[in-house]
Structure formats: structure tokens, C-alpha cells
Structure 1
């Protein structure tokens, strides 16, 4: 950029800035941007009490910016969707990202944004708008403050399931049905601090912070923010293990000696977690419903699993024990695809610095399920300078679970071994599974993690397969404007339609929720990279 151009832009933008910062002179009239009052004619003017002129400048700039981009949405419902979305984006509390974005543009001296920057800026606004909507839903779903809850405050019902480390019962708390998970405590002393220190990993998704000295302990543990594909864990507490009918038959060795004098090895106190009640786990669901599932439902389940793993990885967490019975399903909506959530974080690894763990001794735990460990984990050897990278290990395990979702036995429970298998020698998925999905699963199971897509890329590929125009997957790469038009259309539908749970919309709740999880992390470069990955790696090449 020449010195003359630089000086001209500095003078021009500086003059505009001074014009809007200086106090209003008599005769000047500026209409402030506020939410229009509801009128029967819908023709009310935008007006508001007087405010600072610089605020008006940014509000009007914001209006022009959002309007110019929403005008790209050209489907039949565009007019109504644009109007509602402008209200969502302009009048809600989401100004900070936009102001920062415009501020960077002004400070750079360019005066206008490049196409790439403009599209990334819109993705920023989309993420912020969808996150605001999601935060409100989380507030509705989260229990109000509860203090000093004990086992006696909860009505324990029927037995649901038992695992290696815990048992789950139906429970009623304040008239609402939940699930109560009681951890098996064989080693931690019977006091809150010792129990929480030993079992803190289980509480990663906890929504209610623990109190007093328990708070101090939890501050050292990475917290996992709420996500539609992570279990809803309301609150946790420690208490004495109660006497429950048939407990001596279901888990006799986990009981304390006071409840099972002849064979109880558990401690007197343990950890209790109140959770949302789910209908079943993925393994039982597939066993009972596999023949009735459509391919669309199977892909929805697989995509939800990848979105859950993506959320974990984004927050520096590796589950390390993914399997179909550690995946729960909410089937409360009849005749629709169930909502999928990841649960049981007792074997997880979390580190704010990243997912590379030092493996200096064979005594260090590598994960829960040896059969479904990624090759780079299963083949790791301990040493002074040895590290295990978990950044793509859960994505590999999700690829093995995909076999079950698409109607096959998991090959790594059968003949395949995660230490010496060949990808090409693994069983082929049925031909009714779309080619893109078959190739994606194969890539997720690559031995070398550098040849494997990340969970985020794989989830984006699935989202594009579900919602993007099909010719994008097999034809020429769409233009940036086409991608942005599609992205804005998805956003307007979610903001203006997906939040309504009445009538026919409720039947597609999981689909809207899945689109929302995609939009919550939408980045323009990620979408274009996923499209290129589909066309370069996953799409069959025509015979020459």
C-alpha cells in the first residue's frame, strides 16, 4: 500500500469517526436502532431514547452488515426468516463480537473487509447467536440451587444398570424423575475430600459446582461445559451407602461390612450423582431396534457421537473408555431418532495444556477398554521421555462403534486386534451404507493418527452429508457465496423454527439440535476444508 493511499484512508476514516463522536449539533437528527414495538401493520419506525452517537454508529453499521449478508438467503421463507433473524442478531445481547470485528477492520486501515474475513465474521456472529439460544435452554434444564442434599432426601426406585464402578437406580427428587448413580468405593477413606479426590473425573460434566472445600478441589479439575451430546449431570454429593433391597444380590462385594458382614469390601461412604434419566444405552437399543432403523437414523446417531467427541477434544478431554454401553439414549420422543449422550468419565484424561500425556511408568493408566484403545495408545511403551497423544484416540474408537451403529459386530471384539490389524482387512460395511460414510469410517480407523481425520473434521463431514446439497459432495466445490447462503439458511431456520417445540417441529427436535451443535462451532475455513476432504478423499473417483 502506497503512502498516499495510506494517508487518504487515514484522513477519510478519521473524518467519519470524528463526525460521529462529536456532540450532536442543533438540527442533526439520528434515529437510534432499537427493537420495533409490535404493531398490527408491522410498519413502525425504529426509534429509541437518545444515546451516545458512537453507539448509534455501530448499531447502524451492524444493521447494514447483517442485512447485506442475510439478503443472500433466497429461499421461499427468506422474508420472514430474515426479519426474525435480524431481531435475534441485532436486538439481543450479542454486540461484543460484532464490535470487536468492526473495530479490527477500522483499526487495520483497510476500510472494508475481505471476503474471507467477512465470511469468518458472519460465522462468528452465527456462533454467538446460537450459543445464546443454547445457554437459555441449558438454564431451563439446570436445577435451581440445592444445598446439603443427602440420600434420605431422594426416593430411590428400581434398579437400572450396574457397571464395573457404579450402580444406577431410578430416583425421584422434588417430584421429578431422575437417575441416581452410586459409585463403588473400595479404597478412598470415608470422608468427602478423599472420595472427591479419588473420583473427581466422574464429575467432569457436573453442572452444579460443589461447595466449601469441595469447590477448592474442583477448581483444579477441568470442567466440561454442557453439550447436547454429553450426559446431563445435575449435582453430586457424598453420603453413607444406604441399605437398598436386593443390593446384596446385585453388588455384594461393593457393600460395606456393616451391610454385608460376610463379603462386603466397600467403604461406608461413597459418591452419589443425580443425573437425567435416560431410556437405554446404545448397545441395548441397537440389539432391540437394529432391524427397524433407517439409514438416516443411523447417520444421525453416528454424527451425534462424533459431535460429543469433538466437544470433549475442544475442551482438552479424552474419554478413553468409549463403548456402546457407555453411550446413553433419550428415546422420549416416539418415532424419532433418539438423542445420544456420552457418559461414564471415570477413565477420562483432561489437561488444560493439551491431550499429550507423559507415560513414564507402566503403572500409569492408559484407559478403560483395552480392546477399543487406539493403536497409538495400545502400542505405547513407558519411558522417561515417552508420551501418549490422545488427540485422535476417541475418534478412532468412534470409528469402531460405527460398525455397531451401521448394523455390524464391532470387529475389535472379534478377530481384529488393535495392535496389528490392517485397515483393508477389516470387514466391509454393507453396501447400503453410503460410500462417503464407509470411507469415513475406514479413515477413522487408520493405524497412523496423522492419516486419521480429527473428530471435528469427521463430524463436519457428517453434518455436510446430512444437510448440504448433495451435488457439493460429488461435483465442483461450491462458491463461497453459496456456502454462506446455505449456512445462513441453516441459522435462520434454527433460530426461528428450531426453538419452537410445538406441533410438527417437535418431531425433528434431535435434527435441529444436531444442526445447532454444528453452528455452535461453525468456521468458514473448517467447512471448506471438510468439503475438500470429501471430494479429495471420501468421494469415489470416476474411472478414466
Structure 2
């Protein structure tokens, strides 16, 4: 053992002796040397899950070290004395590390509690109207999917005024036309700030109760006032069990302002675009029912796919877009929801006041929503619906074989889909699309194409981690989001490794919290992302994220040195 190592151990031993109470009253000291058990007194206010470790580790360290002292005074063999003292020292060091972790965890918990109270505020004020189709002025069709058509709409609703480009504004007679572009329909948005989604009803019957129950998955992002008071009492028994009433508002998840049933109208383009799903009173050959579900949402300028067809984001802007998708997916997972059909067509986009793209996840028709939050679907038959887009289906979902007591775990499936969409965000073709594309059920990770060289190494590492075939080795959306947050804003805090590095990281978190609070409630994308990060701080996830970052950087450094 080197002199430096011996001195270091001696100092740690002295600190442990001091911490374990040798300077306490003589009665307690004598009891320790007699080998009597002296229970440690846990700190007041410590979370109950930590008290067990503090009591047992402190008590164990005291007993082992006192045993070492007895053997030393009784003339025991040098080997036994060394073993007992070293082991007691090690336990004391573990207890010291747990003490630091408890302090860091308390700091993270305090920051989380502070920012979790600052909930995202919707621009819609409490209303008593808007529950009838006649309350809305309908414009042109702006979207059509496999089970619904979307039209722009307007209504005299009490929205708060916004000055940002392409945001929800109050409809007035004297508003200017503004700028136009092929992908950002600013003029149309000013006149029609809302969007009405009309579901196609070909099997739910014509009663309101049966329609709401059959299409209840569409109500997962509904606001607290979306349904009429009498409909709120319905038990929304979707195909996958009882659904949560609502998912709390989040800046990266669509919000349904109103949901109601009404007779299917003959809207513009209906006879040409979807005649088969119309009711017989509108089309004699139609197979649809007379009534269906209507959802009222904010009107967004375009989808993510449409935006990327005419724009190539820079590396920082692309990283912020990827981070928003991960924040949205993490929010859904925390509420016990798996989207199961995540693709660039189901992500809507607008620009904030800094002209940065703001992304929201939409279209929840294929979602799995469970009140227990397990996100495990019993897969006992081939007829069980695995989800939406087969091309972007996570490997654990695509390769699942039905059988007794078989469950599909969707807790990381959406995060995998975000990894595939990141290629589109950074200007590349999605590797899982097309006739020559990879298949999620059989591809190997080495087959994944490289992202452009301009994309930072940390971001490329996150994409590779998200696309791991083994879901157990794949990070959660929360951990992946933390890695990007730290990479963007916490590089200096990660300069050191080990416990000192973690202390620096916690200090940086406190500074970051103060900056966000001083900045106020800004509505820019970066401000919203930083608030989301601070509102979900957990020490375990932070440790994991730092570990991934440091390991990735060590590997890259080793590759540089080897070349």
C-alpha cells in the first residue's frame, strides 16, 4: 500500500470514527467497546426509505470497528485486526456515500416539487359553450387519416390573445393577413384557430354512450371541461380497460378542448374523399352511422413531416425537437399511456416567438391507456391489437409471440419510435421505411445508418441507445431526455467525475433553477423544456444519465487515442 493511499485511508478512518460517535458521551463510547448494540439515530426529516440504510450501516460500522478495537487491545493477530478495521472502514465509507446521496436526493426532490407545481397552462379559459357542432364555423379540410377527417374551424370562444406567430388568437374582423408560406398557414390560422376532428363511425352505433365508449381512447388528452357534465359520469371502458379521465396538460401533447357527439354533416370534400364512411342519408352506398364523435383542438400549421419536407433544422434546433418528443413520451408514460402509433404524421408543429418549432404529439386512436400505469398488454391471441404503424413498431412488440401469461411491455416502445423519427429530423430518410428499409423484428444495430457528421456525438449516442433491440438495455424516455438536457446546458457540470462531479452537478441544478425562476414563465420552447427537466428531477435517473454520458465520452476518447 502506497503512503498516499495509507494516509487517505487513515483520514477516512478518522472521519468515520468521528461520525460514528467516539466524541459522544462516555457511556455510549463504553457501550461500543463492550460490543453492545447502540442503535444509530436517523436524521429527522429523512425519507423513510433511507432510514433503514442509515441505521443498519451506521450500526454495522460501529460494531465492526469496535470489534477491531477489541482485537487490537487484546493482542489479536495482525491479519484479523486489519480485516476487521478495513471492513469497518469500508462500511463507514459506504454510509458516507449514502449520506451524500441523501443530500443530493433531497435537493433534487425540492427542485422537483417547486417546478412540478408550475403546471402548463392551456390558452383556453373555462367555457360553458362549444358542445354542439352548430357552435363552429367550418373551413376547408386540413387532414385525413384512416379513421377521421380534420377541418379548420372557428368559434366565438374566449381564448386569450396571443401575439406569437401561428398561435391561438381571438377571431376578430379587423385582423391582418400576415405572412404565408407553403407549410405555415398563418392567414388561415388567424381566421380558423381551431381544428375539428370528425371520427368515422362504422361500428359504434348511433347512441352517444356507445360512441364515447367505443372511441374513448381519443379522449385520453381531453381537458377537464371537454365533455358535458352528464357525460363525465360515463365509465369509459375502452378495448384495453378503464381509461384515465384525463392526461394533465403538457406543452408537447395535444389538448382536446371539446368532445361531443352529433349527426354527421356533409362537409367539404366528403363525397370525394371518404364517401364509403358516410351514413346512408348522405350517400346511399355509405356504411356509416348517423352520429359520430367530434373533437375540438387547436389548429396547428402543419405536421412534422410536412415541415421537414421544406426545412432542414440545424443540429441545435433538431436536438430541441428530439428533446420535445422525448418529454412528451415521458409525460404519457408517467400517466400510464403508450401512444403506439408515433410517427412524423402524428406530430403537429407550430413556431414559438423565437421561430423555434414546437412539437405536440397527437392522434391517440391506437393508444394503450391503463389506470395502473403498467403498460403491459396481455397477448394471449393473435387477434390482440399490437398498435398502429408496423414499420416503427419496437422490436419487443413486433417479435412478441402470443401465448398464455404472455404480456407485451410498451413502457419503452414509444421511445424506440422517437429514435427512428430522429433520422427524419436531422435530414435523413427513416431507415425503417421503404421496400429496402430495415425491419424492427430482425435488424441488427450495426446496420443502422450514421447520422450527419454535424449532429453532436452525444445526440448520436442517444439515438443509438433509443434504437437498441433489447428493451432492458434501452434507456427510458426520461433518461434519454436527461442526457440531452445535460449535453445542451450542463457540460461544465460534467467536467469532473465521481462524487465531486455529482456535487458540481447538483450545484449546477440549483443555479439552473434560480435562472429559470428569474426568467419567469416564458413560452419559448427552451424555457418549457428546462421547466420540464427540473419538474422531473430524480437522483436515480440523473445518475443513469450521467453514467451513459461519461461512458460514451470515454469510449470516444479511447477510439481517438487508438487511432
TM-score, scaled relative to structure 1 = 0.75
Query: Partner residue of 1:340?
Result: 359
Q: Which of 513, 531, 544 is the aligned partner of 1:516? A: 531
Query: Partner residue of 1:398?
Result: 418
Residue-by-residue CA offset, 1:215-258 (whole Å, 9 max, x unaligned)? 23249312322111111221211111112232212222221111
Q: Which of 258, 261, 265 is the aligned partner of 2:287? A: 265
Q: Kindly tell me: are residues 6 and 476 of structure 1, through their superposed partners in 2, closer, same or farther at Cα, counting changes over 3 Å? A: closer
Given that 1:298 and 1:405 are in contact with CA atoms closer than 8 Å, whether structure 2 keeps it comes out as: yes
Local SS of the residue matching 2:250: coil
Residue-by-residue CA offset, 1:45-72 (whole Å, 9 max, x unaligned)? xxxxxxxxxxxxxxxxxxxxxxxxxxxx
Mean CA deviation greater in 475-484 or 181-190: 475-484
Query: Partner residue of 2:513?
Result: 491
Q: Aligned partners of 2:127, 2:490: CA distance in 1, in Å?
A: 42
Query: Partner residue of 2:34?
Result: none
Q: Which of 83, 104, 118 is the aligned partner of 1:119? A: 104
Query: Partner residue of 1:275?
Result: 297
Residue-by-residue CA offset, 1:145-183 (whole Å, 9 max, x unaligned)? 325711001111221111111111111122542111111
Q: Aligned partners of 1:7, 1:407: CA distance in 2, in Å?
A: 72
Structure number with larger C-alpha Rg:
2
Report whether the alignment pairs 1:352 with 2:371: yes
Q: Aligned partners of 2:459, 2:234: CA distance in 1, in Å?
A: 45
Query: Partner residue of 2:138?
Result: 156
Given that 1:328 and 1:341 are in contact with CA atoms closer than 8 Å, whether structure 2 keeps it comes out as: yes
Q: Which of 236, 244, 262 is the aligned partner of 1:239? A: 262
Q: Aligned partners of 2:482, 2:456: CA distance in 1, in Å?
A: 16
Q: Kindly tell me: are residues 529 and 7 of structure 1, through their superposed partners in 2, closer, same or farther at Cα, counting changes over 3 Å? A: farther
Query: Partner residue of 2:397?
Result: 377
1:151-190 aligned at under 5 Å gives the runs 151-175=133-157, 176=170, 177-190=193-206
Query: Partner residue of 1:192?
Result: 208
Q: Aligned partners of 2:359, 2:450: CA distance in 1, in Å?
A: 25
- Give the C-alpha shift of residue 309 in structure 1: 0.9
Residue-by-residue CA offset, 1:386-432 (whole Å, 9 max, x unaligned)? 21111111111111111111111111103211111111012111111
Q: Kindly tell me: are residues 164 and 102 of structure 1, through their superposed partners in 2, closer, same or farther at Cα, counting changes over 3 Å? A: same
Local SS of the residue matching 2:118: helix
Q: Kindly tell me: are residues 443 and 260 of structure 1, through their superposed partners in 2, closer, same or farther at Cα, counting changes over 3 Å? A: same
Local SS of the residue matching 2:311: helix
Write out the 4+ residue segments of structure 1 that deviate beyond 4 Å after TM superposition: 1-9, 100-110, 473-478
Q: Please, which runs of 5 or more residues in structure 2 have no aligned partner? A: 1-19, 29-43, 56-95, 158-169, 171-192
Q: Aligned partners of 1:194, 1:7: CA distance in 2, in Å?
A: 77
Q: Aligned partners of 2:48, 2:395: CA distance in 1, in Å?
A: 44
- Give the C-alpha shift of residue 491 in structure 1: 1.2
Q: Aligned partners of 2:25, 2:302: CA distance in 1, in Å?
A: 64
Mean CA deviation greater in 186-195 or 519-528: 519-528
Q: Aligned partners of 1:420, 1:234: CA distance in 2, in Å?
A: 41
Local SS of the residue matching 1:347: coil
CA RMSD of the aligned region, Å?
2.9
Q: Aligned partners of 1:6, 1:307: CA distance in 2, in Å?
A: 53
Residue-by-residue CA offset, 1:110-133 (whole Å, 9 max, x unaligned)? 9x9943223222222222221222
- Give the C-alpha shift of residue 346 in structure 1: 0.8
Q: Aligned partners of 2:50, 2:24: CA distance in 1, in Å?
A: 15
Q: Kindly tell me: are residues 101 and 156 of structure 1, through their superposed partners in 2, closer, same or farther at Cα, counting changes over 3 Å? A: farther
1:126-137 aligned at under 5 Å gives the runs 126-134=111-119, 137=120
1:393-542 aligned at under 5 Å gives the runs 393-414=413-434, 415-469=437-491, 472=494, 479-499=501-521, 501=522, 509-537=524-552, 540-542=556-558
Q: Aligned partners of 1:106, 1:117: CA distance in 2, in Å?
A: 8
Residue-by-residue CA offset, 1:256-300 (whole Å, 9 max, x unaligned)? 111122x3221111111111121111101111112xx21100000
- Give the C-alpha shift of residue 332 in structure 1: 4.8
Q: Aligned partners of 2:482, 2:413: CA distance in 1, in Å?
A: 18
- Give the C-alpha shift of residue 8 in structure 1: 11
Q: Kindly tell me: are residues 187 and 6 of structure 1, through their superposed partners in 2, closer, same or farther at Cα, counting changes over 3 Å? A: farther
Local SS of the residue matching 2:321: helix
Q: Kindly tell me: are residues 389 and 102 of structure 1, through their superposed partners in 2, closer, same or farther at Cα, counting changes over 3 Å? A: closer
Given that 2:198 and 2:292 are in contact with CA atoms closer than 8 Å, whether structure 1 keeps it comes out as: yes
- Give the C-alpha shift of residue 443 in structure 1: 1.9
Given that 2:337 and 2:368 are in contact with CA atoms closer than 8 Å, whether structure 1 keeps it comes out as: yes
Mean CA deviation greater in 206-215 or 188-197: 206-215
- Give the C-alpha shift of residue 445 in structure 1: 1.1
Q: Aligned partners of 1:534, 1:107: CA distance in 2, in Å?
A: 31
Q: Aligned partners of 2:495, 2:252: CA distance in 1, in Å?
A: 26
Given that 1:408 and 1:429 are in contact with CA atoms closer than 8 Å, whether structure 2 keeps it comes out as: yes
Equivalences, count: 439
Q: Kindly tell me: are residues 309 and 383 of structure 1, through their superposed partners in 2, closer, same or farther at Cα, counting changes over 3 Å? A: same
Local SS of the residue matching 2:294: strand
Q: Please, which runs of 5 or more residues in structure 1 have no aligned partner? A: 10-99
Local SS of the residue matching 2:266: coil
- Give the C-alpha shift of residue 469 in structure 1: 2.0
Given that 1:183 and 1:272 are in contact with CA atoms closer than 8 Å, whether structure 2 keeps it comes out as: yes
Q: Aligned partners of 2:508, 2:361: CA distance in 1, in Å?
A: 30
Q: Aligned partners of 1:4, 1:105: CA distance in 2, in Å?
A: 28
